[in-house]
Structure 1
Amino acid sequence: MSRRARSAPPVTRAALTSALVGTAVIAVGAFWLSFHALTDLALRSGVPREQAWVWPLIVDGVIIVSTVAVFALRGHSRVITTYPWALLLGGVVVSVVANGAHATLTETQVPDVIAVAVATVPPIALVAATHLSALLLDRTNPGAGSLSFPWPRRRPAPAAAAAKVETTPDAIAPAAQRVAKPADQRPSGRSRAMASEEQMRAWLDEQLAAGVKPTGASFAKRFGGSASTGRRRLAELKGELVDA
């Protein structure tokens, strides 16, 4: 960038406002004239009168949405911006050629070539606009994959959340004192987990107090072993609590 370009004064607000207002007036006038010319061309091409007004909206609508896409995709790679630019230029060419063809017509009916072109524009515009929307949507959620939406994460179930809570010695002691039984009354000859009977009873007491139904899988996850072993130990502990 040259020194002169860097030192150039910024555009004044008055100049910007005047340009924007003038652009809006030109856009409205041009759209109005183009709308009537393209509507008449659609009528002459065999489009019913009650539907002919839609054809200019399709042609000029492609120009509008592709222009918005060009500005929205500024800063992206040329591979991404090539399509909206091509769509914009294509819409401009169709609009200019159609307006020029309407100006040269002297008869009520148009040549077959023009009638075929008028009939093929709507489906082509539908496919082009849909692809453009997909392109913009894919750039709106980068890294999430094409046409993907950020769905909310599911919250863990209460039982799963309760199983992750680790009991501390301070919390185990009061519960163990309430449910503990003398050692000589415990079943003999049964396999013991690494955790003590007091810890197992305290965990079971906390689960029941929280309204959570303990399972063999949650017992095994907390103290180790298999789910079947957990179910057997739960049955033993529940039997001891009932006896208590």
Structure 2
Amino acid sequence: MAKDPVTVTTNRRILLWSTATAVALLAGAGFTLSFSSLIDLAALSGIDRQLAFLWPLIVDGFIVVATAAAFALKGRSRRVTWYPWTALIFFSAISVIGNAVHATQVADVHIPIALATAVSSIPAIALLVATHLLVVMVDAHTSHTAVPAPSSKRPAAPSSDRQLVAAIQAAGKSGQPVTGKLVASLAGTSVRTGRRRLAVLREQFPNQLQKQTDTVEGA
């Protein structure tokens, strides 16, 4: 039995938002762990403990902002898109390296430094990946549900030769040259095809078209 389209759409939407919620929670978890490590690193680097929380906000916050900006500017020229992508790479590297450096300063002596560094880097990497994935999902959902814009402001092409002839006559009476280019614009075809079609229409409707096109035929 065929599935109800409404049910399929509803299930897809539920799955999308459920996944998006899970990704957002993972991003929040990664941010929280990375935030804690970067606060300690900022304090160890000499930043006032009361203000140290601002440093991870700047670093990890920029990851979120740069990711969203990169996708908001998707499709623009490289002169525009290089900036958010460069910022995303730069601050992601700072976050990962910062978490790794923090591990080398506070890791238990019984834990290998390499392992501690890798473990401490995971939250920053998870934040980057989760944020990127969340923006991709939102962008895909928006593109899927967006109402397509009209492809052209041109009136719909006539559905028959008689309607096309009537449109050509109306254009001729308004002062437009009756040419293959005009027919192409009315029928939604190439100029070459418009010329050929005009020649055929002249033969089919000599009384309607011949008088007008004898004096104004051009391109």
TM range (shorter): 0.3 to 0.5
Rg bigger for which structure?
Answer: 1
TM-score, length of structure 2 as denominator length: 0.42
